[in-house]
């Protein structure tokens, strides 16, 4: 059983996997990296917030031309998470034609690479939530 590590430390590999952000104690602004102070209000106290796994797609592109190490094409999406937070990740299991205004998406994880010790890097992406028939 190989080990797993998240590709970024704001992805928490739990059950279920989810994103977490630093939240400004004063104004609730959310950040994925450590902050010297809040970029919104300047305060220096932060707490942690677990983010929702569902949200709405706000913007996207399908990338066809990239640096040689990046496989193309892929769809990049900006997702507004339910309950707060905006995240950028790949839209997976979807085509451009599936994208509609306000498309609801849900987070999923996948193996983005394996290192020489067999450790898997786990990344996250979003897939459309199919309408209930």
Partner 1 sequence: MSSGDIWIIGASMTPFGRHDDKDLIDIAAESALDALGDADVTIEDIDILTMGNVYEANSHNGQRLQKQIGQTGIPVYNVVNACATGATALRVALLSIKAGESDIGLAVGVEKMGKGGLIGGAAKKRDARKVYSPNGRYGSVLKTEGILGTGIMPGVFAQAGTEYALAHGVTATHFAKVAQKNHAHSVLNPLAHYRKEFSLDDILNADVIAFPNTLPMCCPNTDGAASVVVVSDAKLKTMDPDVRRRAVKISASVLTSDPWVEGGQVQPDVSTLTRNAATAAYEQAGVGPEDLDLVELHDCFATAELIHYDNLGLCEPGGAGDFLDSGAPWRDGKTPVNVSGGLLSKGHPLGATGIANIYEVATHLRGEAGDRQITGAKVGLTHVIGLASACAVHILEAGVR
Residues lying near partner 1 in the complex (CB under 8 A): 5-10, 29-34, 39-40, 57-74, 76-78, 80, 84-90, 96, 99, 101-102, 112-113, 115-117, 119, 121, 123-124
Give 50 or 78: the residue with its C-beta nearer to partner 1.
78
Angstrom distances, CA of residue 92 to CA of 32, 75, 82, 116, 122: 22, 7, 19, 26, 15
Q: Which is nearer to partner 1, 16 or 27 (CB)?
A: 27
Which DSSP state fits 97?
Answer: G
Sign of CA dihedral 111, 17, 101, 66: negative
Nearer to partner 1, 16 or 113 (CB): 113
Specify whether the CB–CB gap between 53 and 104 falls below 8 A: no
- CB 105, CB 79: distance < 8 Å: yes
Instruction: Choose from partner 1, Zn ion, none: what does 118 bind? Cβ within 5-8 Å by kind.
Output: none
Binding positions for Zn ion, rule: CB under 5 A: 24, 26-27, 29, 38, 40-41
């Amino acid at each position: 059983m190989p080990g797993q590590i998240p590709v970024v430390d704001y992805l928490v590999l739990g059950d279920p996997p989810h994103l977490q952000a630093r939240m400004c104690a004063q104004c609730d602004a959310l950040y994925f990296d450590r902050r010297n102070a809040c970029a919104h209000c300047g305060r220096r106290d932060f707490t942690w917030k677990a983010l929702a796994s569902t949200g709405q797609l706000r913007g996207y592109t399908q990338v066809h031309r990239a640096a040689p190490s990046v496989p193309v094409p892929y769809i990049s999406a900006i997702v507004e998470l339910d309950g707060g937070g905006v995240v950028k990740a790949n839209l997976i299991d979807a085509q451009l034609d599936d994208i509609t205004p306000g498309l609801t998406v849900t987070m999923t994880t996948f193996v983005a690479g394996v290192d020489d010790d067999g450790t898997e890097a786990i990344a996250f992406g979003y897939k459309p939530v199919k309408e209930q028939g």
